[in-house]
Chains A and B, each alone.
Chain A
Amino acid sequence: MLLRQWVAALILIAVGAFTVSAQNAGEVEKGRQLFLGMCSRCHGAEGGGGEGPSLTRLTRAHNDEELSAIIRNGIPDRGMPRIRRFSDAELGQMVGFVHSLGGAAGGAITGKPENGRALYQRLGCQSCHIVAGEGGDFGPELTTIGARRAPDYLRQSITDPGAALPRGAPVPGRGFNEFLPVKVVTGDGREVNGVRVNEDSFTIQVKDAGNKLYSFRKADVKQLDKLFGKSMMPDYKARVSAAELEDVVAYLSGLGSGPGDSK
């Protein structure tokens, strides 16, 4: 009827207890279809992860009920939307499909995390990224990145950072690209290059590579270019070897994915 976009899905009342065991292949296949539609954009068609984490090894959901609750309620602070439109049967099919996932889709981790950690320092990544409270704050925090992004996505973000900007934080708004590079030419001809911090229809807030914050009224600027497909992060494709890349991916994949390996 109305406002689906705003409430993410239907407000369902009284979700009864349900039992999930989509044992037969037909049910799992139905779950796969649902998954392709609702989940694959972030978790990958085979559940191996991407912008969202791999579902081949579930770290938060220890049983069907916990997995169902995550699907129903989402994980708001991690960008996972709640999905409330499923019937109990559909939810069961989805849970069954997620449980059927296995293997190493989403990218295997072949590098050595300790080498990757050293390389991370040597490349100066910490000048823009915070891990466990330390580092610069121009780019996204990486403290728990291993729990939130699959190896393939991390690999791509190092070799082709503009291909997939982070999305979905509460600021600047649901579904907006974060760290979107913008070029602003002010009324008096000054050029400011930086990333968008926030934006509305009349104003835009930008921070530059020196981490200086600017606030512009759009009516006052001569030019405003949003550089979709680009990132302020340098492309490291030519600066690391294939083996080094795997080491960094291994290091990042370990961040936040389990106790004792978050640093």
Chain B
Amino acid sequence: MKQVLWFALAFSYATADAQVPYERIAGADSEPSTWVTYSGNYQAQRFSLLSQINRQNVSQLKPTWVYQMRNPGIVETSPIVAEGVMYITEPPSTATALDVRTGRPLWTYTPSIPSDVIIIGSPPVNRGVAILDNTVFLGTVNCHLIALDAKTGIVRWDIVVDDNKKGYYITAAPLAINGKLIIGVSGAETGIRGFIDAYDPKTGKRLWRTWTVPGKGEPGAESWGGDSAVHGGGSTWVTGSYDPELNLIYWGTGNPAPDWNDDTRPGDNLYTCSLVALDANTGKIKWHFQFTPHDVHDWDATEVPILFNAQVNGRARKIVSMANRNGFFYVLDRQTGEFLSATPYIKQNWTDGIDAKGRPFARRDADPKVAGTLVYPAIAGGANWYSPSYSPTTGLFYQAAREMGGVYFKGDAEYKDGTAYTGGGGEGKNGDDAYGAIRALEGTTGKLRWEFRLVTPPMAGVLSTAGGLVFAGAEEGNFFALDAGNGKPLWELQLGAAIRASAMSFAMDGKQQVAIAAGSSLFVFGLP
């Protein structure tokens, strides 16, 4: 009898244990009331299948609740919602669970961050957690990866991904797949050697590491002059996408180091500023595509790669697409990496075009100089870390586009552990000289279908929905909804501080909600 009872208890525990198993993430589109991975689904489409909030009623949208962060700092978090709980991150590396009905905190976990933590290249931000089974995963600015019990926030394990003293740190949300947790790192501005890691979600044991910059004698090593690859950069700081059928992980890589002084690194500098497709079992690079060979402008390819299937020139294709920081919208075959097209989606003057294989004709007169070189786009690029969206309903790729030129300077670069190894810098032509837009591009061609203008280049992502809406945010604090078909504004609210996050959507008690961070607050909106 006792044994039976124990068995029953163990069984019920096991059932409760699997809150968000892999199968639920893989089937995210069949359960649109939740949001169980960074970009909503493995294809990274940031598209909600909920249509309760739609073109007809979005004008009635009202705040449901607001949560205010404990610490000051830029909030880039993209919430996860499952089982009545919203999981967010707060700057710099805090994870917090909120009651999705009220916004009241259920638990919060702040790791101990040493005061001499090295964060060079970005503000101390975090873009969100991953969830798998009953565990929430958090990357930190001192380059730890931490597993927290989803119900209590208690630490299950805490491991060092790499040495923060060398400049490695984490701002990205991990990606949870079947039996693996994938994470990328920041730190190219200190001359790290970048990588993408996979860990066992149960134990924190590393399963594989794939370097984004080859070692001596490895393929790609010939694309670096001398020993320059040793501190070659190529960080991996934005969450990628995943195709379960092909079992391939798609992940963007960052700039070569030093950023603006290329004297020591002649060559293409593989695999920086690239998209790599990794075998999820082994981490082996199945193919790579380099958007910006020998980058000298700090145009990381750490934008979200979106997967979708479509006909291209009469042929069914599995596509991976990216609006790259360098100003071009790329369409690739995600099985093979074959280049299909690249179309500028903003003003650019660093290249005379793209060849048939996808390689740019880079203009060397656009290289940084000591006295400065004006180039379009500016350092932050036409796009950046913030999410684009793809709507399977409209077939459109929605991108928050930055129209800004910048003056690029070349400076000294000397490698020292944990210090800036950038060799220059830049200054954006901001203010009235710049602007932004939410642009709808045809997913298979990059052709502009419509745009909605913004007074300032945005640093906030886009969400599209089955309700025929596109939600986006502005630097001045406007959160707004556009008609996904024609870009007409349908609703707007001033949130009082810059929006530097990407919206997501979920439902509670049968009512659709849209969440977005602005300033130091997280806002949730629904219909009255």
Which A residues lie at the B interface, using CB under 8 A? 1-7, 9-14, 30, 33-34, 36-38, 85-87, 89-90, 167-168, 173-177, 180, 199-203, 219, 226, 228
Contacts and interface: CB of A to CB of B under 8 A. Distances in A.
Given A9-B425, A36-B372, A87 B380 contact: no
B188 A1 contact: yes
B420 A200 contact: no
A5 B378 contact: yes
Given A175-B433, A202-B478, 8 more contacts: A1-B237, A13-B419, A85-B409, A85-B411, A90-B411, A201-B453, A201-B455, A201-B480
Interface in B426-457: 426-434, 453-457
A175 B411 CA distance: 24
B326 to A, nearest CB: 14
B422 interface: yes
Nearest to A200: B476
Given A12-B420, A201-B478, A1 B300 contact: yes
A232 to B, nearest CB: 16
Contact of A174 (B298, B422, B430, B455): B430
A7 B124 CA distance: 11
B186 interface: yes
B422 A10 contact: yes
Contacts of B422: 10, 85
B371 interface: yes
Contacts of A3: 122-123, 380, 384, 459
Nearest to B378: A5
19 contacts: A1-B254, A1-B255, A1-B300, A2-B380, A3-B122, A13-B118, A13-B419, A34-B370, A37-B407, A38-B409, A85-B425, A167-B431, A173-B430, A175-B431, A176-B432, A200-B476, A202-B480, A202-B489, A203-B494
B300 to A, nearest CB: 6
Nearest to B412: A87
B380 A37 contact: no
Given A4-B379, A13-B120, A219-B489, A33 B371 contact: yes
A3 B492 CA distance: 25
Given A10-B420, A11-B123, A180 B384 contact: no
A9 B123 CA distance: 11
Interface in B402-421: 404, 406-407, 409, 411-412, 414, 418-420
A2 B425 contact: no
Nearest to A12: B420
Contact of B425 (A10, A33, A199): A10
A36 B422 CA distance: 20
Interface residues of B, number: 65
Interface of B: 74, 116, 118-123, 186, 188-189, 235, 237, 254-255, 259, 298, 300, 302, 369-372, 378-380, 384-385, 404, 406-407, 409, 411-412, 414, 418-420, 422, 424-434, 453-457, 459, 474-478, 480, 489, 492, 494
A177 B431 contact: yes
B237 A37 contact: no
A36 B406 CA distance: 15
Nearest to A88: B412
B121 A173 contact: no
Contacts of A173: 430-431, 456, 475-476
Contacts of A175: 428-434
A3 B378 CA distance: 10
Contacts of B74: 6
A210 to B, nearest CB: 25
A86 B411 contact: yes
Contacts of A37: 369-372, 407, 409
Contacts of A200: 455, 474, 476-478, 494
A12 B418 CA distance: 10
Nearest to B437: A201
Contacts of B429: 175
Closest 7 CB pairs of A and B: A175-B431, A85-B425, A200-B476, A175-B430, A37-B372, A1-B121, A176-B431
B432 A180 contact: yes
B387 to A, nearest CB: 14
B480 A7 contact: no
A203 to B, nearest CB: 8
B428 A5 contact: yes
A179 B114 CA distance: 45
